[in-house]
Amino acid sequence: MSEQLDPEMFSACGNVVLPMRTHNKWAFRIMVCLEPGRRRFSELRIPLREITPKVLAESLRAMERDGLVTRTAYPGVPPRVEYELTDLGRSLLGPMRVWCRWAEEHLPDLVAARESYDTAV
């Protein structure tokens, strides 16, 4: 039998909330779109055509709340709004690339494991 887990193993972390909303499948894609610089909502819609405008707006709002994106509104008719990664958001690009490389490298293994599990169940 292996060593028992320490019941206080997470106490050093406290109630840390992850800065990235990992359950939001669009956040990484939005960050990639914003990496080169500021973009208007309509520009983001082109590569993110699979996302509804409502979900894109909600995702951007959540990322803005987390400090990953800034939203700048310009007066005029029609009003213009642009989104841009903050320094905090840019700091996630490196780890995000590592995660993506891992996923690319191990995707066949992951798919095989899922298929094996689903066949056995």
**Tokens at residue 101, please?**
């490389």
Residue 14 within a domain: no
Of 120 and 7, which is predicted with more confidence?
120
| Dihedral sign computed on CA atoms, order 60, 62, 65, 66 | negative
**Residue 59 resides in a domain:** yes
Question: Quick count: other Cβ atoms within 10 Å of Cβ 46?
Answer: 9
What per-residue confidence (pLDDT) applies to 12? 63
Number of domains in the chain: 1
Residue 36 included in any domain: yes
Q: Is the pLDDT score of 99 beyond 80? A: yes
Range of the domain at 36: 27-120
CA 38 from chain center: how many Å?
Answer: 17
Average pLDDT score over residue span 51-67 = 94
Instruction: Check: CB of residue 73 under 8 Å from CB of residue 80.
Output: yes
Q: Is the pTM of this model over 0.85?
A: no
